[in-house]
Structure 1
Amino acid sequence: MRSPASTDIPAPVDRGFSRSTAAQARLHELVPGGAHTYARGEDQYPEGMAPVIARGEGARVWDVDGNTFVEYGMGLRSVTLGHAYGPVTAAVTEAIARGVSFSRPGALELEAAETFLQQVPGADMVKFAKNGSDVTNAAVKLARAATGRKRVAICHSQPFFSTEDWFIGTTQMAAGTLEEEARLTLGFDYNDLESVRSLVRRFPDEIACFILEPATALAEPAPGFLEGLRRMSDEHGIVLIFDEMITGMRWSLHGAQHVYGVRPDLSTWGKALGNGFPIAALAGRRELMELGGLRTDRPRVFLLSTTHGPESSGLAAYLAVHRAYRKRDVVAEMEHSGSLLTAYLTEEIAAAGLQDQVKVLGRPSCLVFVTCDAARQPSQAYRTLFMQELLRHGVLGQSFVISAAHTATDIDCTVSAVAQALTVYARAIEAGSTEGLLSGRPVAPALREYAAPRQVRTQGRSFT
């Protein structure tokens, strides 16, 4: 079932990265970490091969050196319709020509709120913001205010929820956070109701909320798990929060809560909501959301009062994205292309005899790759080698997270690049090492305590 050959597939070219490397060095002088998101950092890519992007269109990007890549990940999963998608950019252009920010609510705020609440029928009210951390933190604040409790129970087998202390304080990048805040955060395991029950037993009447992604690329809910969380929340007066940053509009227009039939008390949305434009949303039950409003007798929650939360470009982008999802089945398109890509790549992996080392896993709309060493253990060095060879053959991505803009030709290019990468990967497995094949250091976890195992000197002072 190999991907059909395409005459449009470009031959491998000698891709240089000199301009990207120079731009990255300058970014390090101006921007801490050299990027505004840790997942976009240079340390997340093979050394000397971290392209700085000049533009994108559809599923392709061009870097400052003039290299062209088929991109996966698509803006950290935020772009489902493709880069520079015409109807979205046109809607944003039209909206900003009428003004961006006003001293009173704009008409777009009403239209976007009505549209979103039709999209998520389990929610009564919505408030928009600009990024995911703002809305997840607002959800936790509402839960604490509603319950009078301080503890937050997070699914600690999931990677990220917020930049706030209640979450970041529990990670390796805890510098600058308050320990007393992190101590209030508890952890449970996904698909393990007993781990949740044990928290409730240990901390009776102390847990304000459960917060989790209802599903991830690698984990679907086991039968009864989400339902069990819902029952436990109701029985113990705990607020159930679904983080739908990734699943919302990738699993379904209506979110994973619709796919699995479990209604949370609050849900948080972002990423695909604006096809890359900055917009996020907190939605939920009226009695909780009104704690931040004017129709409550209880002490008010300071809830998402931000200057740029309702500016017109993000709202116009969301409305245009919603129209695209209504006109065509965007999720089905992603799942169809992702299923084809999985089938083709699985066959290439089998042909290379690397089934135990390289795997393509996940929901078709949210695919990831797993890279292991000869002992079948996950390996950052082998991951870097795989990414290095993909880059050399025109594919950019920390995953195979697809969009509805990926064409048959894009998939053909990807299959061809993976076939080439697997040839080098097999040589490394046979040798038992990536030495001599991997140029530079392996990629590192994005959330880690130290930038490097050495002292970092700043303005003459030494920090260890």
Structure 2
Amino acid sequence: MKLEQFDQSAILVSDERRDRFAASDALRLRAHSVIPGGAHTYAKGDDQYPVLAPGFIARGLGCHVWDVDGNRFIEYGMGLRAVGLGHAFPKVVSAVLREICRGNNFTRPSPLEVDCAESLLEIVPGAEMAKFTKDGSTATTAAVRLARAYTGRSLVALCADHPFYSYDDWAISTTPMNAGIPQDISDLTLTFRYNDLPGVAAMFSAHPGRIAALILEAAKDAEPADGFLAGLRELCHRNGALLIIDEMITGFRWPQHSAQRHYGVEADLSTFGKALGNGFAISALVGKREIMRLGGFDHNRDRVFLLSTTHGAETSALAASLAVMKIYRSEPVVETLERQGRRLQAGIEDAAARHNVAEHFQLLGRSSNLVYACRDRNGALSQSFRTLFLQEIIRRGVLAPSLVVSYSHSDDDIDRTVEAIDGALGVYRRALEDGPETHLVGRPVQPVFRRRATPAPRVTRPRKQSRSSPIDRALPVVSP
């Protein structure tokens, strides 16, 4: 055993971690010394995974990834849903390689910018203009700025049931991680609940003539109630506000490649990304011409500085996006995602029923976009049980912060995943009886959006312990 210290508290790290994840542990120490949080995306941070987990992924192919220690995993979540086709998907890689050999960024626009915009607009109902950028946050923030300019209003309302739209102040001000955001900025953002039209109507009544736009995902873990999206659009327009739909996740994962098209609703503005580039950095803002044109110069109103980034339309990402959209038009990608998702869901639900944990381990969301909820013996959501589940599936060769499938997940991959989860749920069942701490190595995972930070790891000299020492069986101590 060795002792790894987190400031005033300590966790025990087993020989299993030392043996399987030695290279990750060494790299982790370097990462935390030069990168705040040790990663460039909070959802990829150490606090989101158990102690017994790979720290760094070296490569991926299809739905399989290899960490820096050479451990192989079947991956789900696929780069936070950005890799819909599979890692290093050959047709996408070939398109990118061809383009970067011609140069990746020029002084004037590339013709690919026009081709890519036209191709994307074919997918989004009612959208007439597009603007590309690198990540979802800049796209949604541009939509909010545009809505405020178009309406001449200051307030924006976001759906509180969909917790992340942007790292910018207007959105993060509604989370517990709002340090550094002035109250005057926070006061400009309102919240509403999903599937609650009366609540939205009351919000408009409480702020007459002041709300520029509402933003939400068309669907997430729950489906929209009958008439909700159409009713939301009608309420927005009746009150002079715009409807913004964030399709970062639903785009290229829902039927017809767009939740708007699937549910039969047209947003005034919408945002796309993630699977649009199959892992390459590209996102987009699309919308009605009369609104989007404010970011151009063919009008007589005040101009909006909409999106203008050095790398916003680099040719490698545009080539990836064009290849992705071509594949989606010619191959049954979404149908495969849904079929494999249903196969996975059925297998897991059978395993949960067999282990009598169906009320404690639950699958949520559309089959192509499954997430899971881990509950304790009292039915409360539990980070400890989530950590235990992650730990046990990782032990069995599956890396799954969610259960979001890709086009590359084969029947064999699904079957092996179900087998791994079946084993993990057996441990889960025992933990419901004798406590997760009996089976868990190290501290539990933490929510991304929390006010206080968990201190970064600091390693001390290992203590020499015999394998039969009582410290092997001690309960890990973790800071609150």
Same fold (TM over 0.5): yes
Structure 1: runs of 5+ lacking an equivalent: 1-11, 457-464
Corresponding residue of 1:81: 85
Q: How does 1:143-222 map to 2 (within 5 A)?
A: 143-216=147-220, 218-222=221-225
1:84 is aligned with what amino acid? A
| CA distance in structure 1 between the aligned counterparts of 2:67 and 2:128, rounded to whole angstroms | 44
| CA distance in structure 2 between the aligned counterparts of 1:184 and 1:362, rounded to whole angstroms | 31
- For residue 245 of structure 1, the aligned residue among 228, 244, 248 is 248
- For residue 449 of structure 1, the aligned residue among 438, 451, 455 is 451
Which 10-residue stretch deviates more, 328-337 or 408-417?
A: 408-417
Check the 8 A contact 2:256/2:262 in 1, yes or no: no
Corresponding residue of 2:348: 345
Overall identity of the aligned pairs, in %: 52
Pairing 1:60–2:70 present? no
- The alpha carbon displacement at 1:354 in A equals 0.8
Check the 8 A contact 1:21/1:48 in 2, yes or no: no
Check the 8 A contact 1:74/1:403 in 2, yes or no: yes
- The alpha carbon displacement at 1:194 in A equals 0.9
Residues 129-149 of structure 1 deviation map (CA, whole Å, 9 limit, x = unaligned): 000000100000000001110
Check the 8 A contact 1:15/1:392 in 2, yes or no: no
| CA distance in structure 1 between the aligned counterparts of 2:403 and 2:60, rounded to whole angstroms | 17
1:271 is aligned with what amino acid? K
Corresponding residue of 2:324: 321
Check the 8 A contact 1:267/1:283 in 2, yes or no: yes
Pairing 1:266–2:288 present? no
2:199 is aligned with what amino acid? S
Residues 125-168 of structure 1 deviation map (CA, whole Å, 9 limit, x = unaligned): 00000000001000000000011100001101111011111111
Pairing 1:363–2:370 present? no
| CA distance in structure 2 between the aligned counterparts of 1:158 and 1:133, rounded to whole angstroms | 14
| CA distance in structure 1 between the aligned counterparts of 2:77 and 2:352, rounded to whole angstroms | 21
Corresponding residue of 1:8: none
Corresponding residue of 2:129: 125
Check the 8 A contact 2:177/2:449 in 1, yes or no: yes
Corresponding residue of 1:19: 23
Q: How does 1:290-305 map to 2 (within 5 A)?
A: 290-305=293-308
Corresponding residue of 2:400: 397
| CA distance in structure 1 between the aligned counterparts of 2:115 and 2:321, rounded to whole angstroms | 10
Residues 407-435 of structure 1 deviation map (CA, whole Å, 9 limit, x = unaligned): 1111111111111111111111111x112
SS at match of 1:440: coil
Q: Residue 50 and residue 223 in structure 1: after superposition, are their counterparts in 2 closer, same or farther (change >3 A)? A: same
Check the 8 A contact 2:50/2:444 in 1, yes or no: yes
2:320 is aligned with what amino acid? A
- The alpha carbon displacement at 1:244 in A equals 0.3
- For residue 34 of structure 2, the aligned residue among 22, 30, 34 is 30
- The alpha carbon displacement at 1:49 in A equals 1.9
Corresponding residue of 2:338: 335
- The alpha carbon displacement at 1:15 in A equals 6.9
- The alpha carbon displacement at 1:48 in A equals 4.3
SS at match of 1:114: helix
Check the 8 A contact 2:156/2:213 in 1, yes or no: yes
| CA distance in structure 1 between the aligned counterparts of 2:209 and 2:441, rounded to whole angstroms | 54
Pairing 1:256–2:230 present? no
| CA distance in structure 1 between the aligned counterparts of 2:119 and 2:54, rounded to whole angstroms | 39
| CA distance in structure 2 between the aligned counterparts of 1:253 and 1:18, rounded to whole angstroms | 45
TM-score, L = length of structure 2: 0.90
Instruction: After the TM superposition, list the runs of 4 or more consecutive aligned residues in structure 1 that deviate by more than 3 angstroms.
Output: 12-15
Corresponding residue of 2:228: 225
Corresponding residue of 1:138: 142
| CA distance in structure 2 between the aligned counterparts of 1:185 and 1:282, rounded to whole angstroms | 20
| CA distance in structure 1 between the aligned counterparts of 2:386 and 2:22, rounded to whole angstroms | 23
Provide the alpha-carbon RMSD of the alignment.
1.6
Corresponding residue of 2:437: 435
1:194 is aligned with what amino acid? P
Q: How does 1:398-413 map to 2 (within 5 A)?
A: 398-413=401-416
Check the 8 A contact 2:257/2:334 in 1, yes or no: no
| CA distance in structure 1 between the aligned counterparts of 2:386 and 2:322, rounded to whole angstroms | 38
- The alpha carbon displacement at 1:329 in A equals 1.5
Q: Residue 256 and residue 15 in structure 1: after superposition, are their counterparts in 2 closer, same or farther (change >3 A)? A: farther
TM-score, L = length of structure 1: 0.93
SS at match of 1:435: helix
- The alpha carbon displacement at 1:451 in A equals 1.1
- For residue 45 of structure 2, the aligned residue among 5, 19, 41 is 41
Residues 272-298 of structure 1 deviation map (CA, whole Å, 9 limit, x = unaligned): 000000000000000100001011100
Check the 8 A contact 2:148/2:212 in 1, yes or no: yes
| CA distance in structure 1 between the aligned counterparts of 2:234 and 2:324, rounded to whole angstroms | 34
- The alpha carbon displacement at 1:116 in A equals 1.1
Which 10-residue stretch deviates more, 19-28 or 85-94?
A: 19-28
SS at match of 1:227: helix
Which 10-residue stretch deviates more, 163-172 or 333-342?
A: 163-172
SS at match of 1:242: strand
SS at match of 1:240: strand
1:314 is aligned with what amino acid? A
Pairing 1:275–2:283 present? no
| CA distance in structure 1 between the aligned counterparts of 2:51 and 2:34, rounded to whole angstroms | 20
Corresponding residue of 1:460: none
1:268 is aligned with what amino acid? T
SS at match of 1:365: helix
| CA distance in structure 1 between the aligned counterparts of 2:36 and 2:455, rounded to whole angstroms | 18
SS at match of 1:141: helix
Corresponding residue of 2:118: 114
- The alpha carbon displacement at 1:121 in A equals 3.6
| CA distance in structure 1 between the aligned counterparts of 2:122 and 2:201, rounded to whole angstroms | 34
Pairing 1:386–2:397 present? no
